[in-house]
Amino acid sequence: MAKWGMVIDLDKCTGCQACTTACAMENDTLPGESWQDVLFYNEGEYPSAQMKWLPRPCMQCEDPSCVHVCPTRATYKDEDAGGIVFVDWNKCIGCKYCMIACPYGVRFFADEQPLVEPDIRDTYPGENGQMWSPPYQNPEQDWRRGIGIQPKGVVSKCTFCYHKVSKAPEGVADLDEDDPELKEYVPACVRTCAPKARFFGDLDNPESNVNRLIADKKGARLLDHTGNRPQVYYLGAGASIPAFRPRES
Amino acid sequence: MSDNNIMKGGPGTGLLILSAVVLVVSFGYVMFQLMTVGHAAFNVSSKLPWGQPISTYLYFALASSGLGLIASLPLVFGFKQYYGIAKRAIFLAFIILISGMAVLALELGHTFRMLWAIPFNMQIQSAMFWMGVFYAADLLFLLWKFQKMEAGDWDSRNTKIIGIASFLGVLLASGNLALIFGMMSMRPFWYDGSLPIYFYLTAITSGMAALVFFTYLAYGFTRSNMPEKLQIVFTGGLPKLFATVLGLTILFVTVRAITGLYANNPEVYHVWADYLFASPLYILSLVFGLLLPFALMMSAKLRVNPQIQILVAVLTFGGLFAERYYFVVGGQVIPLFQGTWAWDMLQYTPSVTEWALTIMGAAMMFTLYVLGEKYFDLSAAPQLERAPRTAEPRQATA
């Protein structure tokens, strides 16, 4: 079985947020429930101030702290599914401990106050247990893997678009959106990336492009000191975010 | 013996009605909000997921643990002069834990799912799994121990074994509760291996406050109404113990604050400098909730004064409630990443529903307390205390 990994080249990323939009469309997420977002931030001060950005999916960590803390095994890492970390919505009790334990802030408890008004959940009230039911939604639903629109009271997160990736041919080294044979299996954020800053492939396959990129272009993991060992690697300058400092009022 | 217990009479009935009404109204309001608005009625968010309901649960759970630890003084460690407080402490520990669990249950996304999903999935890596195990055991042992006391069995071998098991259960439960926070290396404000010690100390302090307050309440805030054994406790070692645990709590908070303020780590430093010490309410809670009670209890004259004891208990109640709140929220106010979504420290103020949940927990505690005072003799202590004590060593040496 493959071990799916993602490589994001920050020197190519333009911060256009097409990935965020594609993810939201693919997975029917609510405003603010950004399974994949682009985090914009500042570093330094005038005259050397910088404006930077970092695309941020779930890191699908090799040793995920969210999995350790979940008291019901609702959050689990499925090695048979490429090492993707899922949330079983039938088991999640909504204790939110995984959100505390995730160092990357990529888990969401969407049963919260709306980010924007009017609340889209009021516009499309939930049916059949869904938190909200928009008229057009991805037909792929798998609550044991946290795919689809979640019920109330559970935690949701990026699934590396498992509903697409899982249909890829066995043994494929990379899922490249430029390959007509494979493009349907590529995660939405990777497929839509206009500057081709994202790559998706098998970290266990020595021939894969993602491995080559990590080796040749000095791939780095975000917050590596946490020991979670992400399966997402960043290339290029600025694969780090400065520590917190209060804003001057 | 308990004739002076006003909870058995009209005032108790009045308090029972009042607290039951508050309980029903607050529970009704919370349920209505959860049914109609859902958890959006809380002011927590995906950036700051644990708010006042969690700190309220923590407050109740630790006050319960503190009471369990105080009760172990006579029941496990043989300080028989404290027998008079043991039964009330065990009862309060039980009802306060139940009240805390009720608050936690309504905070969860799926309350009833928890009942099967935790035991059937056996995720032993999770501290929260162990929280369930240890607090369930704690609850069971408290109930068992209370049942033994109610049956007048204070000194049998079985009672002692249950007492020791309960003591260990309390230590494991509250120590593990600390580690739910203390093992989170990605939350540096909490990440601290010595956190169980801090939890033990503050647990005993809040337990002591509860014990003092509710014992006085039972006797109309008049010490002379209490049975003699209780009066001796309240003028003897108990106030000194109260002063000691208050002092140790202050010491621990001070050490944590100094470490935090000295450290360059912004995720710890800014919590202390720009959140806790920037909050007048936090400073007030330190001054009036810990320092003033400690100062009052350090005075040999004042610490035996009934009014001062009641005042200290009430102040400590408030002080430690704030301490728990700022501990839980303080661990999350620094965003994991500063930028989009959070350009500065995260803001959180409890919503009306979250306050209603806290009030519901308190009302539940008062309701169960009055019922306990009405239907049990919570000041009961073994009648033949002295005889066996002098007889036992002789038998042992014979």
Minimal-distance CA residue of chain B relative to A223 = B186
- CATH architecture, range A4-39+50-235: 2-Layer Sandwich (3.30)
Residue B245, token pair as written in the block: 């645990």
Q: Does A182 touch chain B (CB under 8 A)?
A: no
Tell me if B267 sits within 8 A of B334, measured CB to CB. yes
Identify which of A54, A93, A103 has the shortest CB distance to residue B108: A93
pLDDT in tens, B195-205: 999 999 999 99
Q: Measured between beta carbons, which residues in chain A are less than 8 angstroms from residue B131?
A: 71
pLDDT in tens, A208-233: 999 999 999 999 999 999 999 999 99
Residue A92: what pLDDT? 97
Give the pLDDT band of residue B155 (cuts 50, 70, 90). Answer: confident
- The domains of chain A are located at 4-39+50-235
Residue A76 gets the label, from left (phi > 0), alpha (psi -120 to 50) or beta, of beta
Across the interface, whether the CB atoms of B46 and A111 are under 8 A apart is answered: no
Q: Is B7 a residue whose pLDDT tops 60?
A: yes
- Rounded Cα distance between B86 and B25, Å, is 33
pLDDT in tens, B16-46: 999 999 999 999 999 999 999 999 999 999 9
Q: Is A249 a residue whose pLDDT tops 80?
A: no
Q: Which residues are A198's β-sheet partners?
A: A8
Tell me if A191 sits within 8 A of A176, measured CB to CB. no
Q: Does B184 touch chain A (CB under 8 A)?
A: yes
CATH of residue B342's domain is 1.20.1630.10
pLDDT in tens, B179-237: 999 999 999 999 999 999 999 999 999 999 999 999 999 998 888 888 888 888 888 88
Identify which of B180, B186, B345 has the shortest CB distance to residue A103: B186
Identify which of A54, A69, A99 has the shortest CB distance to residue B127: A69
Percent of chain B topping pLDDT 70: 95
- Rounded Cα distance between B359 and A198, Å, is 50
Residue A153, token pair as written in the block: 């009271």
Across the interface, whether the CB atoms of B110 and A154 are under 8 A apart is answered: yes
Across the interface, whether the CB atoms of A100 and B49 are under 8 A apart is answered: yes
Q: Which residue range is the domain that position B277 belongs to?
A: 6-378
**Distances B323 to A84, B268, B287, B348, B375 between C-alpha atoms, Å:** 39, 16, 12, 16, 34
Q: Is B254 a residue whose pLDDT tops 60?
A: yes
Q: Measured between beta carbons, which residues in chain B are less than 8 angstroms from residue A73?
A: 121-123
Percent of chain A topping pLDDT 90: 90
Q: Does B339 touch chain A (CB under 8 A)?
A: yes
Sorted by sequence, the CB contacts under 8 Å of residue A244 that are 6+ apart come out as B266, B267, B270, B334, B335, B338, B345
Q: Does A247 touch chain B (CB under 8 A)?
A: yes
Is residue B301 assigned to a domain?
yes
Tell me if B98 sits within 8 A of B138, measured CB to CB. no
Q: Does A33 touch chain B (CB under 8 A)?
A: yes
Q: Is B243 a residue whose pLDDT tops 50?
A: yes
Identify which of B46, B117, B184 has the shortest CB distance to residue A72: B117
Is residue B394 assigned to a domain?
no
Is residue B398 assigned to a domain?
no
Where is pLDDT greater, at A145 or B78? A145
Tell me if B325 sits within 8 A of B52, measured CB to CB. yes
Q: Does B11 touch chain A (CB under 8 A)?
A: no
Q: Does A118 touch chain B (CB under 8 A)?
A: no
* Structural domains of chain B, count: 1
Residue found by looking up tokens 């302090």 in the block: B205
Q: Is B310 a residue whose pLDDT tops 70?
A: yes
Where is pLDDT greater, at A243 or A158? A158
Q: Is B388 a residue whose pLDDT tops 80?
A: no
Minimal-distance CA residue of chain B relative to A90 = B113
Is residue B185 assigned to a domain?
yes
Which secondary-structure segment (H or E) carries A158?
none
Q: Does A17 touch chain B (CB under 8 A)?
A: no
Q: How far is A200 from chain B (nearest CA, A)?
A: 25
Is residue B319 assigned to a domain?
yes
B288-308 mean pLDDT: 94
pLDDT in tens, A74-128: 999 999 999 999 999 999 999 999 999 999 999 999 999 999 989 999 999 999 9
The answer to ipTM > 0.90 is yes
Q: Is A40 helix (H, G, I), strand (E, B) or coil?
A: strand
Is residue B210 assigned to a domain?
yes
